[in-house]
Amino acid sequence: MFKPRRRGRALVAALAAAILVAGCAAPGSQGAQPGGDTPQTTPKRITAVSTKGDPLVVLEKLEGAADTIQELVSGGLGMIDTQGNVHPEYAETIPSVENGLWKVLGDGSMEMTWSIREGARWQDGTPFTAEDLLFTIRVGQDSALPFGDPAYSSLDSVEALDARTVFAKWKQPYILAERMFTRVTAIPLPQHLLEPAYLEASASGAAAGFVEQRYWSEDYVGLGPYKISAWERGSHMVLDANEHYVLGRPKLDGIEVRFNEDVSAVVAAILGGGVDVTLGSGLEAEQVVELRNNWRDGQPGVGIAAFSGIIPQFLNPRPALVSNLEFRRALLMAINRQEMAETIRLGLVPVAHGYLREGLPEYQQLDAQLVKYPYDPNQAAGMIQSLGYQRGPDGTFHDAAGERLSVQLIADTGRTDERNAQVAIADYWGRIGVETELAPNPPRGDQEAGATFPAFRVRRITDEPERVAEFQSSQVPLPENRFRGRNTPRYQSPELDRLLERYNVTIPRPERMEVFGQVIRHISDQLVVMPIYYNVGVTAISNRLKNVIPRTGTAQAWRSFEWDVE
């Protein structure tokens, strides 16, 4: 998707719980028109709270609620559900191999055809046409602008067959091509609003002038079910129903989104009756218990989110033993992951066994491919001893030279859950004789330090199937790529590279998932990541709301036009 950047970031002011309560929208009720007896239906409006604060700009992909806000105001040819499947939105249908609109040719190139629904319009009422999609590609492929996306490098050409149809040629296979012109890849841009500014910026060579317009924030006009009618930085945003939404006018008339990063204040506002729904991933397991026990007007919806795990360092680790597979297996078997799930995640989510998100249609078939490791500290200690280590009088393993076996484990100590996981893992390892040094993550922005951590790192791991491509050797963070590669463990394997190359060019889903099974088996067998447990996706949902789903990944609001109040 496009990721425009603005100079500077507006300060995000935390709202007190009292302000949230005061701003609560009252439940819908019947009233009378002024000066008459004719009944009038009160507009259906709800109050939401973003626990991630004020988004910088609408189209910037930020963690947490900014994604949900983007779902509310942005739209495209397709929309993506909680399992990552693409459904028609402004398109008549999503191209697929089965319906013939996605063709893979003998030379490896591809062709795709999209047709826009008849009568489609932007939020300002202007017709949405194929010319908007051509303009989107033109802007996205402009190297002077910060809108890079892997899809653009695979595209050969895009042309309009008529006012509602575009035809694209691809130079090479691209498995995520069906996500083109959605909110995650090449989100459609309104030519009638942006082309003059784009041409001016291109002519003057001042690309920054194009991405710093108010369009990207307060003046945003998109295709989503809700449109921005007001935005007070650091305070709140008001969204109104989009009368022109292609799937029908939303059932809600409006949503007020308040920004508050203080979770305690948000919970107080919820219990005080001032919040209908939370957006984003700010609430954790502790808040689930508090809301279940004390919130009479609603319930916390709980979903299973991406898992947490331990990332080993594979390139020049310290100590070198980290690269030994038997050692990593021993360390994982020393951790009582079920106990961690029950204490840190309060039993709300299961133990994770590998790079596989529950909820995929093929979950049962793929789950059988994972190599699973039991909790067995005695066997774990024996495995380390077989590597040439002996326990000293202090119970810690020592090598033949008498050096203590010690590893470093880093984590985001600013996150309570990651800090708790870090301490628990160190305790389990200490019980079998492995000394563990606890340390915080390197400062944000220090790419080199973040890539060259000595031994192990606790972190949340996005387990969407397409993200496995990040384990390619070409993605290892190195000095030559300024440590910006996405292969966090810096794992390099010709065997996995071959599997990923096959995965990246296998278009039919059944065959692709078969290759994916081999990929996740390799990752779990070699412990490229050491899975611990899934995370909790918590959404506070008031009893008067209907059709709101708990957050799992980044698709909390994918059918928000169906949200309603009783």
The pLDDT assigned to 361 comes to 78
Give the CATH number for residue 478. Answer: 3.10.105.10
CA 409, chain centre distance (Å) = 25
Q: What are phi and psi of 154, to 5 degrees?
A: -90, -20
Token readout for 148 is 């890079």
Distance from C-alpha of 437 to C-alpha of 432, rounded to nearest angstrom: 15
Same domain, yes or no: 315 and 263: no
The pLDDT assigned to 220 comes to 92
Burial class of residue 425 in the structure, from the number of CB atoms within 10 Å of its CB (0-12 exposed, 13-18 middle, 19+ buried)? buried
Span 449-470, pLDDT tens digits: 999 999 999 999 987 787 898 9
The pLDDT assigned to 517 comes to 95
The pLDDT assigned to 184 comes to 82
| Interval 168-188 mean pLDDT | 91
Contact 397, 343 (CB under 8 A): no
**CA distances to 23, 67, 278 from 550, in Å:** 23, 14, 10
Asked if the bond preceding 510 is cis, omega within 30° of 0, the reply is no
Token readout for 443 is 């400062």
Pair type for strands 277-279 and 45-50: parallel
Give, in degrees to the nearest 5, the angle at Cα 553 between 547 and 554. Answer: 75
217 within domain boundaries:
no
Same domain, yes or no: 237 and 250: yes
214 within domain boundaries:
no
Tokens 């799992």 -> residue: 552
Which has the minimum average pLDDT: 272-286, 324-338, 352-366, 479-493?
352-366
The pLDDT assigned to 82 comes to 78
Q: Using 50, 70 and 90 to split pLDDT, how confident is the model at 409?
A: very high
> Is it the case that residue 23 has pLDDT exceeding 60?
no
Distance from C-alpha of 406 to C-alpha of 439, rounded to nearest angstrom: 13
Contacts of 320 by beta carbon, 8 Å cutoff, 6+ apart? none
Q: How many CB atoms lie within 10 A of CB 203?
A: 8
Same domain, yes or no: 351 and 281: no
Contact 251, 226 (CB under 8 A): no
Same domain, yes or no: 367 and 503: yes
Distance from C-alpha of 133 to C-alpha of 191, rounded to nearest angstrom: 8
Contact 471, 522 (CB under 8 A): no
State the residue range of the domain holding 46: 1-74+224-297+543-566
Q: Which stretch of DSSP H or E encloses residue 535?
A: strand 530-542
Burial 318-350 (b: 16+ CB within 10 A, else e): ebebbeeeebbbbbbbbbbbeebbeebbeebbe
Distance from C-alpha of 4 to C-alpha of 216, rounded to nearest angstrom: 8
Q: Which stretch of DSSP H or E encloses residue 266?
A: helix 263-271
Same domain, yes or no: 228 and 331: no
Q: Which of 295, 258, 282, 76 is nearest to 179 (CA)?
A: 76
Ranges assigned E (strand) in 421-493:
435-440, 456-461
Q: What is the CA radius of gyration of the chain?
A: 26
Distance from C-alpha of 449 to C-alpha of 29, rounded to nearest angstrom: 57
Q: Which of 81, 97, 537 is nearest to 302 (CA)?
A: 537
Which has the minimum average pLDDT: 415-419, 421-425, 521-525?
415-419
Same domain, yes or no: 57 and 92: no
The pLDDT assigned to 554 comes to 59
Which has the minimum average pLDDT: 51-55, 285-289, 412-416, 542-546?
51-55
The pLDDT assigned to 264 comes to 92
Count of residues for the chain?
A: 566
Q: What are phi and psi of 363, to 5 degrees?
A: -55, -50
Give the CATH number for residue 43. Answer: 3.40.190.10
> Is it the case that residue 19 has pLDDT exceeding 50?
no
Q: Using 50, 70 and 90 to split pLDDT, how confident is the model at 25?
A: very low
**Average per-residue pLDDT for the chain:** 87
Token readout for 347 is 């039993």
Same domain, yes or no: 18 and 109: no
Same domain, yes or no: 184 and 309: no
Give the CATH number for residue 126. Answer: 3.90.76.10
500 within domain boundaries:
yes
> Is it the case that residue 29 has pLDDT exceeding 60?
no
User: Which amino acid type is present at position 320?
Assistant: A
Q: Which of 348, 208, 258 is nearest to 25 (CA)?
A: 258
Distance from C-alpha of 297 to C-alpha of 114, rounded to nearest angstrom: 45
Same domain, yes or no: 441 and 415: yes
Contact 417, 408 (CB under 8 A): no
219 within domain boundaries:
no
> Is it the case that residue 483 has pLDDT exceeding 70?
yes
Burial class of residue 462 in the structure, from the number of CB atoms within 10 Å of its CB (0-12 exposed, 13-18 middle, 19+ buried)? middle
202 within domain boundaries:
no
pTM for the complete prediction?
A: 0.81
103 within domain boundaries:
yes
Distance from C-alpha of 173 to C-alpha of 110, rounded to nearest angstrom: 6
Last residue of a domain, one of 191, 214, 232: 191
Q: Which is more confident, 306 or 58? A: 306
Q: How many CB atoms lie within 10 A of CB 289?
A: 13
CA 302, chain centre distance (Å) = 17
Pair type for strands 406-411 and 435-440: parallel
Q: What share of the chain in percent tops pLDDT 90? A: 66
Q: Which of 75, 102, 100 is nearest to 89 (CA)?
A: 75
Distance from C-alpha of 456 to C-alpha of 429, rounded to nearest angstrom: 12
Contacts of 302 by beta carbon, 8 Å cutoff, 6+ apart? 288, 348, 536, 537, 538, 550
Q: How many CB atoms lie within 10 A of CB 17?
A: 20
Same domain, yes or no: 28 and 93: no
510 within domain boundaries:
yes
Span 89-142, pLDDT tens digits: 999 999 999 999 999 998 989 999 999 999 999 999 999 999 999 999 999 888
Distance from C-alpha of 307 to C-alpha of 352, rounded to nearest angstrom: 7
42 within domain boundaries:
yes
User: Which amino acid type is present at position 339?
Assistant: E
Q: Using 50, 70 and 90 to split pLDDT, how confident is the model at 17?
A: very low
Span 307-349, pLDDT tens digits: 999 999 999 999 999 999 999 999 999 999 999 999 999 999 9
> Is it the case that residue 1 has pLDDT exceeding 70?
no
Pair type for strands 236-241 and 226-232: antiparallel
Same domain, yes or no: 396 and 440: yes
In the chain, how many domains are there?
3
Same domain, yes or no: 471 and 334: yes
Span 35-91, pLDDT tens digits: 444 455 789 999 999 887 777 555 544 344 457 888 899 999 999 887 788 999 999
